[in-house]
C-alpha cells in the first residue's frame, strides 16, 4: 500500500503535468533532460548543441537541419522563473574566445531554445505552426541516485552504506568515516559538532571514491557531493551510523540523524523529482566511459551499477516510487558516451559497443515499456583531428590536438600551446574484457592513452564569422532526441 503522503505527491505531479499539457497546447514545447555524473560532459554537450543549432552547424544526420528545413533557432526566456538559467553565453565565450573548458554543472539550470522549421510533409505543414521550444534542463546525475532513498529508512541506509564500503577499492578510503561511526554511541545525547564531523568524514569518503585514479561512481546522498544551494543546512548535516537496532531514544544522536535523513528526503529529494524529473519528455544520460576504462574493471563495473540506478529513475509505471502517476512520461532516452575525440575513429564503434554493453542490463532491468532507448559514442566538441605517423615500416593512426597545460605522457609535459600527435591506443575488440572482475588493473601502459585537450581553434569565414563547433555524431544524438518533433 502506498502511504497517504505518496498518493498526495503523485496527485500533485499529475496535476502539475496536466497544467503543463494545457499550456503546452498554445506553445508546443518539449523538455529535454541532460544528466550524467559530474564531469561526464553535460555543460559541453548543451553548449555545443545550442551553438550548432543557432549557427547552422554541419549536422548531416540531423534531418531537419541537413534538408534545410530549419528557418531559425534562437534563445528565449525560460518558463521557470525559479530555476537558474544555463549560462550559455559565458560558456561559449570560454570555449570559442578563450579556448578553455567552461565551468561544469554544479546544480540544476535551464535554457529555452526555440526552433522555427518547416514540416517535411504537406500534412505536417498544414497542421503545425512549425515552431517548437526545447526546454533544456541540465542537472547533476548525482541527484538521481537519491531516488532509492525514498524507499529506505535511516537504518537501511546506514547498513547499506557500511556494506558497500567493504567492497574492494573502497575499504581504505572509507576507514576514517567507519572508525568515527563505530566510535559514536547512537544513544548518547545529540551533538551538533559530532554530527558535522560525521557528515564531513562521510562526504570526504564519497569524494575520494570519485578521484581520478579510482573513478568509482557515486553513492547517495547525491547532494553530499553536489550540494547546490543547500550547503550547510541541517537536512544536509548527517551521516550513516553503525551498530544500532530497535527504536531511537528521544534526544539521542541517532534520533537526530534519523530526523535529518527524513528531512533530506522530504525537503530535497521529493521536490526535485516532483518539480523537475516528473516533467521531462526526453532524456540524455552522458557517461564518461573512457575514464572508467582507464581506471580498470572495478571502475567499469561501478559505472554499470550507477548507470542502472540512474536509468531506473526514468522507469514508467507504479514500480517507481514517485513517478507512478505521471501522465507525461519520458518516451526517448539516449545513453551517450562523450569525448570520443580522444580516440581514433576506428575505435568509435568499439566505444559504442562498450557503452551498449554497459547499458544492456540496466535497460533490461528497467523495462522501459513504451520508451525507446538508444546508445551513441560521440564528442559534443571535437578537440582533435586525425592523422597518421610513420614509424619505420609501420603507419600508426594518431590524433592531433593541443593538450592542456600540465598534461603529460611519460616524461613529456605539455605547455598548453603546442599541437601534438598522440597515438591513443585501441579499445579492446570485445567489451567483455573490460568487465572481467578478475582482470588485473591496467599497469603502467593503459589500454588507451588519455590526454585532455584544449577546445579546438575555430575557423573563421572570409567575412569574419566563426564557424560552428566541430563534433562527432552530435547530429545522430539530435536526430534521436528531437528529429521526430521536427518531422
| Of the candidates 115, 85, 95, 93, the residue with the CA atom closest to the CA atom of residue 44 | 95
Q: How far is the CB of 456 from ligand GDP (least distance, A)?
A: 9
| Of the candidates 131, 99, 98, the residue with the CA atom closest to the CA atom of residue 112 | 131
Could you give phi then psi for residue 379, rounded to 5 degrees? -130, 115
Which residues in the 340-369 window bind ligand GDP by CB under 6 A?
341
Among 10, 32, 39, 132, binds ligand GDP (CB under 6 A): 39
Judged by CB under 6 A, does residue 91 bind ligand GDP? no
Q: How far is the CB of 284 from ligand GDP (least distance, A)?
A: 11
Q: How far is the CB of 342 from ligand GDP (least distance, A)?
A: 6
Q: How far is the CB of 348 from ligand GDP (least distance, A)?
A: 13
Single out the segment in contact with ligand GDP by CB under 6 A; choices: 39-47, 114-122, 148-156, 198-206. 39-47
CA distances from 404 to 324, 386, 417 (A): 46, 18, 8
Could you give phi then psi for residue 70, rounded to 5 degrees? -90, 115
CA distances from 376 to 40, 75, 121, 357, 390 (A): 14, 26, 28, 12, 31
Count how many Cα atoms sit within 13 Å of the Cα of residue 101 in the half-sphere of its side chain. Answer: 23
Q: How far is the CB of 41 from ligand GDP (least distance, A)?
A: 3
Among 43, 158, 237, 301, binds ligand GDP (CB under 6 A): 43
Instruction: Kindly state the cell numbers that stand for 400.
Output: 592531433
Among 5, 23, 67, 104, binds ligand GDP (CB under 6 A): 104
Given the complex with ligand GDP, which of 141 and 431 has the nearer CB atom? Answer: 141
Judged by CB under 6 A, does residue 41 bind ligand GDP? yes
Given the complex with ligand GDP, which of 240 and 455 has the nearer CB atom? Answer: 455
d(Cα 129, Cα 224) in Å, to the nearest integer?
45
Q: Write the burial class of residue 427 (CB in 10 Å: 0-12 exposed, 13-18 middle, 19+ buried).
A: buried
Among 66, 194, 452, 458, binds ligand GDP (CB under 6 A): 452
Q: How far is the CB of 258 from ligand GDP (least distance, A)?
A: 32
CA gyration radius for the chain? 24
Judged by CB under 6 A, does residue 109 bind ligand GDP? no
User: What stretches of 271-409 adopt beta strand conformation (E)?
Assistant: 282-287, 332-337, 372-377, 385-391, 394-401, 408-409
Spatial contact of 165 and 208, defined as CB atoms under 8 Å apart: no
Judged by CB under 6 A, does residue 258 bind ligand GDP? no
Given the complex with ligand GDP, which of 52 and 338 has the nearer CB atom? Answer: 338
Given the complex with ligand GDP, which of 135 and 341 has the nearer CB atom? Answer: 341
Among 33, 36, 227, 239, binds ligand GDP (CB under 6 A): 36
Single out the segment in contact with ligand GDP by CB under 6 A; choices: 42-50, 129-137, 157-165, 356-364. 42-50
User: What stretches of 139-222 adopt beta strand conformation (E)?
Assistant: none
Query: 299-332 as b/e, with b when 16 or more CB fall inside 10 Å?
Result: bbbbbbbbbbbbbbbbbbeeebbbbbbbebbbeb
| Of the candidates 170, 176, 231, 236, the residue with the CA atom closest to the CA atom of residue 202 | 176
Q: How far is the CB of 112 from ligand GDP (least distance, A)?
A: 19
Three-state secondary-structure class, residue 242: coil
CA 207-354-164 angle, to 5 degrees, is 35
Judged by CB under 6 A, does residue 222 bind ligand GDP? no
Judged by CB under 6 A, does residue 381 bind ligand GDP? yes
Among 289, 290, 379, 399, binds ligand GDP (CB under 6 A): 379
Residue 135 host element (H or E): strand 131-138
How many residues does this entry show for the chain?
487
Judged by CB under 6 A, does residue 454 bind ligand GDP? no
Q: How far is the CB of 471 from ligand GDP (least distance, A)?
A: 7
Judged by CB under 6 A, does residue 101 bind ligand GDP? yes
Given the complex with ligand GDP, which of 169 and 424 has the nearer CB atom? Answer: 424
| Of the candidates 424, 277, 410, the residue with the CA atom closest to the CA atom of residue 346 | 424
CA 271-274-276 angle, to 5 degrees, is 95
Question: Residues in contact with ligand GDP, total (CB under 6 A)?
Answer: 20
Spatial contact of 56 and 65, defined as CB atoms under 8 Å apart: yes
Spatial contact of 288 and 339, defined as CB atoms under 8 Å apart: yes
Given the complex with ligand GDP, which of 58 and 452 has the nearer CB atom? Answer: 452
Given the complex with ligand GDP, which of 203 and 380 has the nearer CB atom? Answer: 380
Judged by CB under 6 A, does residue 306 bind ligand GDP? no
Judged by CB under 6 A, does residue 338 bind ligand GDP? yes
Judged by CB under 6 A, does residue 224 bind ligand GDP? no
Q: How far is the CB of 445 from ligand GDP (least distance, A)?
A: 22
Given the complex with ligand GDP, which of 42 and 329 has the nearer CB atom? Answer: 42
Among 335, 380, 448, 478, binds ligand GDP (CB under 6 A): 380
Judged by CB under 6 A, does residue 383 bind ligand GDP? yes
Residues in contact with ligand GDP by the rule CB under 6 A:
36, 38-44, 101, 104-105, 338-339, 341, 379-381, 383, 452-453
Amino acid at each position: 500500500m502506498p502511504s497517504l503522503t505518496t498518493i498526495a505527491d503523485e496527485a500533485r505531479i499529475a496535476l502539475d503535468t496536466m497544467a503543463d499539457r494545457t499550456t503546452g497546447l498554445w506553445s508546443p514545447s518539449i523538455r529535454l533532460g541532460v544528466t550524467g555524473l559530474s564531469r561526464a560532459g553535460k555543460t559541453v554537450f548543451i553548449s555545443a548543441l545550442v551553438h550548432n543549432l543557432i549557427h547552422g552547424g554541419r549536422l548531416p544526420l540531423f534531418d531537419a537541419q541537413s534538408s534545410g528545413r530549419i528557418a531559425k533557432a534562437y534563445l528565449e526566456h525560460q518558463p521557470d522563473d525559479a530555476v537558474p538559467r544555463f549560462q550559455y553565453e559565458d560558456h561559449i565565450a570560454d570555449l570559442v574566445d578563450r579556448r578553455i573548458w567552461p565551468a561544469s554543472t554544479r546544480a540544476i539550470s535551464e535554457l529555452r531554445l526555440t526552433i522555427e522549421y518547416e514540416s517535411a510533409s504537406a500534412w505536417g505543414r498544414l497542421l503545425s505552426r512549425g515552431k517548437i521550444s526545447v526546454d533544456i534542463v541540465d542537472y547533476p546525475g548525482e541527484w538521481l541516485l537519491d531516488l532509492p532513498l525514498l524507499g529506505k529508512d535511516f537504518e537501511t541506509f546506514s547498513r547499506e552504506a557500511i556494506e558497500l564500503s567493504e567492497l574492494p577499492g573502497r575499504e581504505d578510503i572509507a576507514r576514517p568515516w567507519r572508525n568515527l561511526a563505530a566510535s559514536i554511541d547512537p544513544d548518547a545525547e545529540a551533538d551538533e559538532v559530532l554530527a558535522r564531523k560525521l557528515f564531513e568524514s562521510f562526504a570526504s569518503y564519497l569524494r575520494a571514491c570519485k578521484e581520478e585514479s579510482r573513478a568509482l561512481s557515486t553513492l547517495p546522498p547525491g547532494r553530499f557531493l553536489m550540494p547546490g544551494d543547500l550547503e550547510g543546512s541541517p537536512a544536509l548535516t548527517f551521516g550513516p551510523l553503525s551498530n544500532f537496532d530497535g527504536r531511537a531514544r528521544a534526544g539521542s544522536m541517532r534520533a537526530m540523524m534519523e530526523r535529518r535523513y527524513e528531512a533530506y528526503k522530504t525537503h530535497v529529494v521529493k521536490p526535485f523529482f516532483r518539480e523537475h524529473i516528473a516533467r521531462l519528455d526526453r532524456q540524455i544520460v552522458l557517461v564518461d566511459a573512457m575514464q572508467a576504462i582507464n581506471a580498470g574493471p572495478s571502475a567499469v563495473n561501478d559505472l554499470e551499477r550507477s548507470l542502472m540506478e540512474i536509468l531506473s529513475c526514468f522507469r514508467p509505471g507504479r514500480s517507481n516510487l514517485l513517478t507512478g502517476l505521471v501522465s507525461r512520461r519520458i518516451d526517448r532516452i539516449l545513453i551517450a558516451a562523450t569525448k570520443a575525440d580522444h580516440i581514433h575513429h576506428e575505435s568509435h564503434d568499439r566505444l559504442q559497443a562498450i557503452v551498449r554493453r554497459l547499458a544492456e542490463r540496466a535497460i533490461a532491468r528497467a523495462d522501459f515499456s513504451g520508451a525507446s532507448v538508444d546508445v551513441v559514442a560521440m564528442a559534443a566538441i571535437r578537440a582533435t583531428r586525425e592523422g597518421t605517423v610513420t614509424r619505420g615500416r609501420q603507419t600508426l593512426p594518431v590524433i592531433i590536438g593541443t593538450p592542456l597545460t600540465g598534461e603529460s605522457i611519460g616524461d613529456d609535459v605539455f605547455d598548453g600551446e603546442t599541437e601534438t600527435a598522440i597515438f591513443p591506443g585501441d579499445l579492446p575488440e570485445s567489451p567483455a574484457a573490460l568487465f572481467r572482475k578478475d582482470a588485473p588493473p591496467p599497469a603502467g601502459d593503459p589500454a588507451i592513452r588519455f590526454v585532455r585537450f584544449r577546445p579546438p581553434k575555430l575557423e573563421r569565414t572570409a567575412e569574419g564569422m566563426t564557424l560552428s563547433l566541430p563534433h562527432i555524431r552530435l547530429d545522430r544524438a539530435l536526430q534521436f532526441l528531437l528529429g521526430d518533433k521536427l518531422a
